[in-house]
Chain A
Amino acid sequence: MLILSLVEERPRHGYELLKLLEERSGGVLKFHIGSVYPILFRLDRRGWIRGEWLAEKGSRRRREYRITAAGRAVLKNQRGVWREIVAAIDRVARTGHA
Chain B
Amino acid sequence: MRDWEAYVRERLSAPSLEPSTRSRVVEDLAAMMRACQEEALSEGASEEESARRAEMQVPDWQTLAAEIRRLERAAQRSWHRTVVRRPIGRFSMLTGLTGLGQDLRAGLRSLRRIPGYWAVSVLTLALGIGANTAIFSMVDTVLLKPLGFEEPDRLVRIFSTFPEKSIDADKVSTGDVVDWDEGSDAVEGIGAWYVMGRTVVPDKEAGTAETVQVAQVSTDFFPVLRTKPLMGRTFTAEETARAVFNTAASHVGTDPVIVLSYAAWQRRFGSDPSILAKTVALERESWRVIGVMPPEFSFPSREVDFWIPWSFTFLDHGKVIDGARLHDQRYLNAVARLTPGVSVEEAEDQLNAVSAALGEELPETNAGWGARLVPLHEDLAGNARTTLLVVFGAVAVVLLVACVNMSSLQLVRMAERQKEITLRLALGASRRRLLRQFLLENSTLAVLGGAAAIPVALSVLKLLPLLLPGGVPRLDEVAVDVRVLGFATALSASVAIFFGLVPLMAVAPSEIRTSRSAPRWQKVRKLLVVAEIGLAVALLAAAGLLARSYENLYAVDPGFRPEGVVVVPITLDAHEYNSGAKSREYYRVLREKLRSLPGVVSVGSVTALPLSPIGPIFDRPIWAEGDQPPPGGGNRADVRVASPGYFDTLGITLRRGRGLLEKDGPDSPRVVVINEKLAQQIWPGADPVGKRLVIDYSTAGTYPYEVVGVVNDLRFYGPRTSAKPELYLAHAQAPYLIQNVAVHTSGDPDELVPRLRRAVLEVDPLQPPHRITALSRLLDASVMQDRFAMLLLGSFAALALALALLGIFGVLSYHVGERTHEVGIRTALGASRRAILAMIFSLGMRLTLTGIAFGVVLAYFSTRWLESLLFAVSPVDPLTFISVIALLGGSAILACYLPARRAASVDPVIALRHE
Interface residues of A (CB under 8 A from B): 13-16, 18-19, 32-34, 37-38, 40-42, 45-46, 51, 56, 60-63
Most chain A CB atoms below 10 A, which of B27, B28, B64: B28
Contact of B35 with A by CB under 8 A? yes
The answer to whether residues A51 and B28 also contact, given A33-B57, A34-B58, A38-B71 and a CB cut-off of 8 A, is yes
B29–A33 touching, CB < 8 Å: yes
Contact of B466 with A by CB under 8 A? no
Q: Mark B57-75, 1 if CB is under 8 A from A, else 0.
A: 1111101100110011001
Chain A nearest CB, measured from B167 CB (Å): 85
B56–A14 touching, CB < 8 Å: no
Main secondary structure of the interface of B (DSSP, over half): helix
B35 neighbours in A (Cβ, 8 Å): 13-16, 62
B67 neighbours in A (Cβ, 8 Å): 38
Chain B nearest CB, measured from A82 CB (Å): 14
A32 to B290, CA, bound (A): 103
List 6 additional A-B contacts (Cβ < 8 Å) besides A37-B32, A61-B31.
Answer: A32-B56, A37-B64, A37-B68, A38-B67, A40-B28, A61-B27
Most chain A CB atoms below 10 A, which of B35, B36, B60: B35
Chain B nearest CB, measured from A77 CB (Å): 14
Contact of B25 with A by CB under 8 A? yes
Q: What 7 A-B pairs come out closest when comparing CB atoms?
A: A15-B35, A33-B57, A34-B58, A62-B31, A45-B75, A14-B32, A32-B57
B25–A14 touching, CB < 8 Å: no
Chain B contact patch, size range: 20 to 34
Question: Quick one: which of B15-51 are within 8 Å of A by CB?
Answer: 24-25, 27-29, 31-36, 39
Most chain B CB atoms below 10 A, which of A15, A19, A63: A15
Interface residues of B (CB under 8 A from A): 24-25, 27-29, 31-36, 39, 56-61, 63-64, 67-68, 71-72, 75
Q: Specify the chain A residue showing the minimal Cβ separation from B61.
A: A34
A45 to B35, CA, bound (A): 23
A33 to B7, CA, bound (A): 15
A63–B31 touching, CB < 8 Å: yes
A32 neighbours in B (Cβ, 8 Å): 56-59
B72–A45 touching, CB < 8 Å: yes
A18 neighbours in B (Cβ, 8 Å): 32
Could you say which of A19, A33, A42, A56 contacts B58, with CB atoms under 8 Å apart?
A: A33
Q: Specify the chain A residue showing the minimal Cβ separation from B28.
A: A63
Supply 7 A–B pairs (Cβ within 8 Å), ascending by A.
A33-B36, A41-B71, A46-B75, A60-B31, A61-B27, A62-B34, A63-B24
B31–A38 touching, CB < 8 Å: no
Could you say which of A13, A16, A46, A63 contacts B27, with CB atoms under 8 Å apart?
A: A63
The answer to whether residues A41 and B25 also contact, given A13-B31, A15-B32 and a CB cut-off of 8 A, is yes
Q: Specify the chain A residue showing the minimal Cβ separation from B75.
A: A45
B36 neighbours in A (Cβ, 8 Å): 15, 33
A13 neighbours in B (Cβ, 8 Å): 31-32, 35
B63–A37 touching, CB < 8 Å: no
A34–B32 touching, CB < 8 Å: no
Chain B nearest CB, measured from A21 CB (Å): 13
Chain B nearest CB, measured from A23 CB (Å): 12
B64–A34 touching, CB < 8 Å: yes
A18 to B35, CA, bound (A): 11
A34–B71 touching, CB < 8 Å: no
Q: Specify the chain B residue showing the minimal Cβ separation from A51.
A: B28
Could you say which of A19, A38, A60, A63 contacts B68, with CB atoms under 8 Å apart?
A: A38
